[in-house]
Structure 1
Amino acid sequence: MGIISRDELKAGDHIYSWRNVYLYSHHGIYIGDEKVIHFIGGGGQKTGTRTFLDKITSRSVPNHGGNHKQPCPNCGDQSNLDGVVSSCLDCFLAGGNIHLFEYSVSQVVFLAKPRRGTCTTAPSDPCDVVFYRAKILLLLNGFGAYHVLENNCEDFAIYCKTSLMVGKNDVFGRGGQAHLVSVVGFITQLFMPSASRALSLTADIGVRKDAMKVSVETLVARSKKT
C-alpha cells in the first residue's frame, strides 16, 4: 500500500492515510516541516449526496492522533473549518500510517492494484510547482466546495501534482476513490473486480481524453465565480 516513514517525506509529495479500516482514505500535499495542505468538508458543509456517503465527509476533518476530543497543541481545533487547510502531519494522519500516492505508473501496474485511489498513470509536475499550486489554493481557498464524489481531497491532491482537470459534470469525480465509493463502483468492485479495475482505468485522469491542464490562477478565478 506504499507505506513510508516520516523521514522519507519530501515537500511536494502526495500522501494519504486510510480511515474506517480501509474504506476511505484522506489525501493531501506534504509541504515540509511536518505540515500538510489538504481539502476538507468540515464546518457543517453538506456534500449533497443525501446518502451514507455524506458521513464520509467528517472523516476528512483533522484530528490529532485520531483523538476528536483533544484539540491539537499545534493546530488548535480545526473541526469547524472547511475547504483548503493546512494541518500538522499528526492531525492529517488522524492516527493512521503515511502512504505515498504513485504517479506515472504503467497501465499494467494500475490494473494490478487491489484498491483504487492509490496511483495514477498521469505524470507529476516538479515538486516546486506542486508546492506553489498547493500554497496558492490554501491562501485563496480556491478549490470550490467539497463533494465526496465530484470534488474531494484526492481530486485536490491530484490537481496540485498535475494541474489536470476534467469537466465539472462528471458524476463520479476525477479520483479513483470516488469511483470506488459510488454505488456503481462498489457493486462492480464487489461482484466483478476485473470489470471494476477496467472501469477505473478508463476514468483515470492520466488516460482520459477530456483531461486538460488548467493553471491555478484560472482555477481560483473559476471557483470565485461559483
Structure 2
Amino acid sequence: MGDYPKPGDHIFADRGTYDHHGIYVGEAEVTDPSSGKTRKLKHAVIHFGGNNSNIKGKASDAPCRKCFNKHGDPGVTLTCLKCFHKGDTFYKYRYDVSFITFNTTRNGSCTTASCDEPDVVIKRAYAFLHNQNFGDYDFFFNNCEHFATACKTGKARCNQGAAGFGVAGAIVYKAARRLLW
C-alpha cells in the first residue's frame, strides 16, 4: 500500500499464511506506562490479538519507543502503524464488492457487506479498546478480522477462516461459529 490509509479504514497486513486486520484511526494519544506521560501518534491502528498470534516479535522484546507496544499483550490494542504491519505489506480491506469479486478474490481481503461511516467505525474501535469487551481471541471464531469487520459493520465476520474451502467452507464456518460462539 503506497499511500497512508484514511481514518476508519479497515487495513490488513499480509503475514504469509494469514492476514492481520485492524482499524486505522489516524492520530491518537498513547501513555507511557513507566512515566505516565502522553504522546501523540501520527499514524495509529487499533487491532485485536492474543498470545502473540498477530505480532512478529516476542513478549520479551523491548516495548516500542513510539507507541509503547509490548508485542505480546493480548486483547484490543492501539499501536503505531509500524508495530501493526511490522514491515509486511499492508492493504485496505474492501467493502460493498460484487459477489463475483468476493468469490474471485483472496479470502480475508473484501466483503459484500456495506460499512458504516468512518466516525462510527472509529468510535466502535475505541469502545472495544477502552472496555476490552471483544472477548477472548480464537483463531477461527473470534480473531482480528472479526474485530475489524465488527468495527466497520457492527457485525463480526471473517472470510479468511474459510480459506481454500470456497462457499461450502464459508457455510460450514458460519454454522460452526453460531454453535460454538
**Structure-1-length-normalised TM-score:** 0.64
Aligned mate of 1:23, from 2, 7, 17: 17
Q: 2:159: which partner in 1?
A: 176
Q: 1:118 aligns with which of 76, 100, 109?
A: 109
Q: Percent identity?
A: 37
Structure 1 residue corresponding to 2:70, chosen from 78, 102, 105: 78
Instruction: Quote the Cα distance in structure 2 between the aligned partners of 1:203 and 1:133.
Output: 28
Shift of 1:176: 1.1
Q: CA deviation at 1:75?
A: 2.2
Task: Tell me how large the CA RMSD over aligned residues is.
Answer: 2.6
CA contact (8 A) 1:111 1:201 kept: no
> Which structure shows the higher helix fraction?
1
Pairwise CA distance, 1:204: 9.2
**Runs of 4+ residues deviating >2 angstroms:** 4-7, 68-71, 196-205
- In the alignment, which residue of structure 2 is the partner of 1:197? 166
Choose from 156, 164, 181 the match for 2:147.
156
More strand by share: 2
* Aligned ranges 1:120-139 → 2 under 5 Å: 120-139=111-130
Q: Hey, what's the Cα distance between the residues in 1 that align with 2:152 and 2:19?
A: 18
Q: Partners of 1:132 and 1:77 in 2: how far apart?
A: 21
Q: Offset of 1:142 from its aligned partner?
A: 1.2
> How much has 1:73 moved relative to structure 2?
1.2
The change in CA–CA distance for 1:102 and 1:85 in structure 2 (over 3 A counts) is same
Could you list the per-position Cα deviations for residues 86-119 of structure 1 after superposition, in whole angstroms to 9, with x for gaps in the alignment?
Answer: 0000000011112110101111111111x21111
Structure 2 unaligned segments of length 5 or more: list them: 27-41
